[in-house]
Amino acid sequence: MNPQATAFFEKASKWREAYLHLRAIILEEKELQEDFKWMHPCYTFEGKNVVLIHGFKDYCALLFHKGALMKDEAGVLIQQTENVQAARQIRFTDAESILELKPVIKAYIKEAIDIERSGKKITLKQVTEYPVPEEFQQVLDKDALLQQAFYALSPGRQKGYLFHFNQAKRPATRNSRIEKYYQHILNGKGIDDPA
């Protein structure tokens, strides 16, 4: 058992009982190693992330990193948001529902390990599949330095900006966001990178 994961469970208040049930079920699968990533217990197979335990205000969940590849025969997997491409969750609002779903959880964990063992990969959207908002394209066309800096960013950083700019419904909001991150882009930073 991972000491950081153990500390996570010991400090948990709201979902402690549910977390401990999930941990016990996961650890029955001897091929998984307990790790601690992204401030949460994460279970890996041969160093590859398989499933993570996390909690929110209204529910706790098992997050399957390649859940989009799973069959979901019980119909319990949830896509967190429309923009999540690979991961899927099973959500719980109480510890009892975990015990009721234990056979399904165990089967899903085995399936997730089999997917990892097979080497299957999820094809993620490419940067070219994210539209460049008209307002941003106009700025790029007028500012060669910004254009050069933007296209020098990693594909993930480019996607982050395009996604953020496209989320704004009004042109004024898009322009405000572009202006806000102008210097950040010139500095070669991603949207979530510190200034």
The percent of residues above 70 in pLDDT, for the chain, comes to: 98
CA distance 51 to 38: 12
Q: Which residues of the chain are in CATH 3.90.1150.200 domains?
A: 3-118
CB atoms within 10 A of CB 154: 11
Residue 195 is given by DSSP the state -
Structure tokens at 91: 């959500």
Q: Tell me: the pLDDT tens digits for 1-31?
A: 899 999 999 999 899 999 999 999 999 999 9
Q: Tell me: the pLDDT tens digits for 46-72?
A: 999 999 999 999 999 999 999 999 999
The answer to whether the CB of 135 falls within 8 A of the CB of 167 is: no
Query: Is the entire prediction scored with pTM above 0.85?
Result: no
Query: Which residues are bridge partners to 171 per DSSP?
Result: none
Q: Give the type of residue at 91.
A: R
Q: Tell me: the pLDDT tens digits for 97-109?
A: 999 999 999 999 9
Quick one: 175 exposed, middle or buried, by C-beta within 10 A (0-12, 13-18, 19+)?
A: middle
pLDDT at 125 over 80: no
CATH topology of domain 3-118: Aspartate Aminotransferase, domain 1 (3.90.1150)
